């Protein structure tokens, strides 16, 4: 076989394994732990702080205390060992396939996110992106829309009026917010001229992040050259901030996360569409929700906060190191984790929206706002040229 193709296949396989199993899945597991701990800090309580290595199960005298850090492992073990109840009145095919259909699209979206710049392997540069396609966000919209199927199947197949209502509400909510999700990214396309996520991050590394344009090609805010050339960046920040607000709120709605979690809150609908699910199927729904949250945060970080770039012109220095891409991965993961904590923070701050308020926000407010935003961006770009 052609050594080029072999190299490509090998590096892609390694990237898939590392980005999914070493980067994303542990972050998903620990974001469940972080959710419980951060929620309890906000709420004046303790959260899980006792799980350690249970050596007493094997006859030793004391457990090794780990202050609750092994809680996700304990939860995962519980999910495997719990009894998997399938009620007799469900439609079996859709009941079984629904959790997979919800979780798989969230994991699929990991492949276009640029985790880092590039590293040099055997004198060849390898970009730290699994699939460097030119239609980045479009891929995410297409694939993330598939998770609507999973939720609809779950609500319908459970043969239970509360699940059905939860599934219908969730499906309608997700579809409504996909419009504003897509429309709010058109200003980004107009400003950057392309949708290739790695190139967008590269441009942001050189010209300042979209929402924090503190440097450009002529230096950072400490240099005079920056201030003479920065009018464009700051003017464009106005419509792009509106775009950021619409996009972030739509991501909250897409992942059924507070304040939009009416389909799955306990007070309204028992468990919503995942009422009838137990053990591993429920764990898949749960994992899919957190994976969608993390992928959403990763896309927001990539488009609006510079992805893997550190800023202030230091990225060229980091990229010139042969393993500089790995440092960039750490920077990227830090930003994503900060955003996930923001998700948790918002959950305990904003009260839940009523369903009609939610739909009005999606169809009336955000749709119009995103459309108007496109015209504003076009106007500003015309002004600047």
What residues form DSSP beta bridges with 215?
220
Q: Are 31 and 341 in contact (CB under 8 A)?
A: no
CA dist., res. 3 & res. 56, Å (int): 53
- CB of 253: closest distance to another protein in angstroms? 15
Distance of CA 41 to the CA centre of its chain: 23
φ/ψ region of 270 (left if φ > 0, alpha if ψ in -120 to 50, else beta) reads: left
**Contact call for residue 2 and another protein (CB under 8 A):** no
Pick from 225, 349, 368, 372 the residue near another protein by CB under 8 A.
Answer: 349
Residue from 350, 364, 372, 384 that binds another protein (CB under 8 A)? 350
As measured in angstroms, the least distance from the Cβ of 49 to another protein is 8
43 is a site residue for another protein (CB under 8 A): yes
Residue 346 sits in the site that holds another protein (CB under 8 A): yes
Q: How far is the CB of 359 from another protein (least distance, A)?
A: 16
Query: Contacting another protein (CB under 8 A), which of 93, 227, 348, 375?
Result: 348
Bridge partners (DSSP) of residue 119 are 126
Instruction: Return the residues of window 190-249 that contact another protein according to CB under 8 A.
Output: 245
SS3 118: strand
Separation CA 185–CA 172 (nearest Å): 21
Using CB under 8 A, which of 4, 44, 83, 356 touches another protein? 44
132-136 contacts, C-beta under 8 A, 24 or more apart:
132/196, 132/198, 133/196, 134/194, 134/195, 134/196, 135/195, 135/196, 136/112, 136/195, 136/196, 136/197, 136/200
Does 67 help bind another protein (rule: CB under 8 A)?
Answer: no
The residue from 7, 16, 18, 40 that contacts another protein (CB under 8 A) is 40
In the bound state with another protein, the residue whose beta carbon lies nearer, of 46 and 330, is: 46
Nearest residue to 369 via CA among 285, 216, 249 = 249
Which member of 45, 61, 62, 161 binds another protein (CB under 8 A)?
A: 45
Tell me the window of 41-49, 53-61, 175-183, 231-239 that interacts with another protein (CB under 8 A): 41-49
Between 43 and 124, CB nearer to another protein: 43
Other C-beta atoms within 10 Å of 222: how many? Answer: 10
Stretch that binds another protein, among 33-41, 112-120, 264-272, 306-314 (CB under 8 A): 33-41
Nearer to another protein, 41 or 238 (CB): 41
Q: Is the dihedral of CA 60, 64, 67, 73 positive or negative?
A: negative
Q: How far is the CB of 50 from another protein (least distance, A)?
A: 9
How many residues touch another protein (CB under 8 A)? 16
Residue 350 Cβ vs another protein, minimum distance, rounded to whole Å: 6
Please state, in angstroms and as integers, the Cα–Cα distance from residue 239 to each residue in 71, 230, 253, 366, following that order.
Answer: 42, 16, 21, 14
Q: Does 49 bind another protein (CB under 8 A)?
A: yes
Nearer to another protein, 42 or 323 (CB): 42
Q: Which residues pair with 127 in a beta bridge?
A: 118
Please report whether residue 69 would count as binding another protein according to CB under 8 A. Answer: no
| Shortest Å, Cβ 6 to another protein | 51
- Binding of residue 338 to another protein (CB under 8 A): no
Residues near 297 by beta carbon (within 8 Å), at least 6 away in sequence: 251, 336, 339, 340, 342, 343
Report the alpha-carbon distance of residue 367 to residue 361 in Å, rounded. 8
Give the residue with the Cβ less far from another protein, 71 or 158: 71
Task: Report 244-273 residues binding another protein (CB under 8 A).
Answer: 245
Q: Which residues bind another protein (CB under 8 A)?
A: 38, 40-47, 49, 245, 345-346, 348-350
């Amino acid at each position: 076989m052609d050594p080029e193709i072999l190299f490509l296949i090998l590096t892609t396989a390694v990237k898939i394994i590392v980005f999914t199993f070493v980067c994303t899945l542990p972050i998903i597991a620990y974001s469940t732990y972080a959710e419980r701990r951060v929620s309890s800090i906000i709420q004046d309580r303790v959260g899980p702080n006792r799980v350690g290595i249970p050596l007493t199960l094997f006859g030793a005298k004391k457990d090794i205390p780990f202050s609750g850090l092994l809680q996700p492992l304990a939860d995962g073990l519980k999910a495997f060992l719990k009894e998997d109840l399938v009620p007799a009145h469900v439609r079996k095919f859709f009941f079984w396939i629904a959790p997979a259909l919800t979780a798989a699209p969230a994991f699929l979206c990991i492949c276009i996110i640029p985790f880092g710049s590039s590293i040099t392997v055997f004198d060849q540069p390898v970009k730290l992106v699994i699939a460097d396609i030119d239609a980045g966000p479009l891929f995410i919209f297409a694939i993330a829309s598939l998770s609507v199927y999973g939720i609809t199947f779950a609500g319908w197949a459970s043969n239970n009026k509360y699940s059905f209502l939860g599934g219908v509400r969730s499906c309608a909510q997700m579809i409504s917010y996909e419009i504003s999700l897509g429309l709010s990214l058109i200003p980004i396309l107009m400003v950057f001229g392309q949708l290739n996520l790695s190139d967008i991050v590269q441009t942001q590394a050189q010209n300042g992040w979209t929402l924090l344009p503190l440097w450009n090609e002529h230096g950072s805010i400490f240099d005079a050259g920056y201030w003479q050339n920065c009018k464009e960046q700051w003017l464009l920040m106005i419509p792009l901030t509106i775009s950021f607000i619409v996009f972030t709120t739509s991501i909250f709605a897409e992942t059924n996360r507070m304040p939009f979690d009416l389909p799955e809150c306990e007070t309204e609908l028992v468990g919503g569409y995942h009422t009838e699910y137990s053990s591993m199927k429920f764990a898949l729904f749960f994992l899919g929700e957190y994976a969608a949250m993390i992928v959403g945060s990763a896309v927001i970080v990539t488009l609006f906060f510079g992805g893997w770039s550190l800023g202030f012109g230091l990225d060229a220095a980091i990229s010139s190191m042969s393993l500089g891409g790995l440092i960039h991965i750490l920077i990227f993961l830090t930003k994503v984790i900060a955003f996930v904590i923001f998700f948790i923070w918002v959950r305990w701050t904003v009260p839940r929206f009523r369903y009609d308020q939610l739909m009005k926000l999606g169809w009336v407010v955000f749709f119009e706002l995103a459309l108007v935003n496109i015209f504003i961006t076009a106007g500003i770009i015309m002004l600047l040229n």
